[in-house]
Amino acid sequence: MEFLQHIEKSGMAVREKAVKKPDTNVWFRASTPAVDRYGEIVISTGIKMESYLKNPVFGWGHGVYGGIKDNFIGKVVDYEVSSEALDIEVEFIPDAGKNPGGSGYGYLDMVKGGFLNAVSIGFKGIMEHVEELKGLGPVRIWDETELLEVSLVGIPANPEAVRKSLDLGFEQTLVTDFTNTPAPSQDADTAELIRKAFMAHKIRNGMKL
């Protein structure tokens, strides 16, 4: 492998975790040593962070390589690494992704509302080996990697990289907004799709309608 591999997951928070700025910050599980959908494993303790921390960009959909300003939506302000996972705290640019002609909600709103929960790492492989794992056959294991960037994404690959924190107060504000008032949008169809999606989210998670 010459350049990038993506590790992602969509899912609800698995535990509460304090953030430095409740209005803009969210913890994510960025990577775990689980077999991903590419049939590979990334060892968490082998992820080298030194270079990345000099420029800890957080983007949308791995769009940071092209240098388009709107694809830079935040930065990583803290991290925890163990044999179980690489967790990151992200500070979002509050208005990133907001489009006056669209739903009126940005990436931070989508994360706080439960619509986007997946993150993905882009890395350069350094050291690897292949092991035969029961029921899986040969699996590539990345023992050492260099982290290049982390992105918010919509499509998951790793079944264990999940959003780590939830600001319930912010979510309840969105519940009220989506269900009781018109969304701030010039696109009525988009607003209705968002409203229906959030209603389904509430039903799945046992929230009061």
The pLDDT tens digits for 42-67 are 999 999 999 999 999 999 988 898 87
Over residues 170-199, the mean pLDDT reads 46
Helix, strand, or coil (residue 163): strand
Two structure tokens written together for 195? 């409203």
Two structure tokens written together for 123? 């890395």
Over residues 184-192, the mean pLDDT reads 46
pLDDT tops 60 at residue 19: yes
Pure H helices in the chain: 50-53, 107-112, 168-180, 188-204
* CA–CA dist 43, 143 (Å, integer): 5
pLDDT tops 80 at residue 37: no
What is the pLDDT at residue 142? 93
**Domain extents in the chain:** 6-166
The structure tokens 């991290």 sit at 79
**Lowest-confidence pick of 29-43, 127-141, 158-172, 193-207:** 158-172
* CA–CA dist 107, 95 (Å, integer): 8
* CA–CA dist 128, 86 (Å, integer): 18
Q: Which of the 8 DSSP states describes residue 37? A: T
The confidence band for 98, taking pLDDT boundaries of 50, 70 and 90, is confident
The structure tokens 């302000």 sit at 77
The confidence band for 127, taking pLDDT boundaries of 50, 70 and 90, is very high
* Between residues 98 and 200, the one the model is more confident about: 98
**Lowest-confidence pick of 89-103, 136-150, 160-174:** 160-174
DSSP E strands in the chain: the ranges are: 6-8, 25-31, 40-42, 47-48, 57-60, 72-81, 86-92, 118-133, 137-153
What is the pLDDT at residue 133? 87
In tens, the pLDDT along 150-167 reads 999 886 566 565 555 443
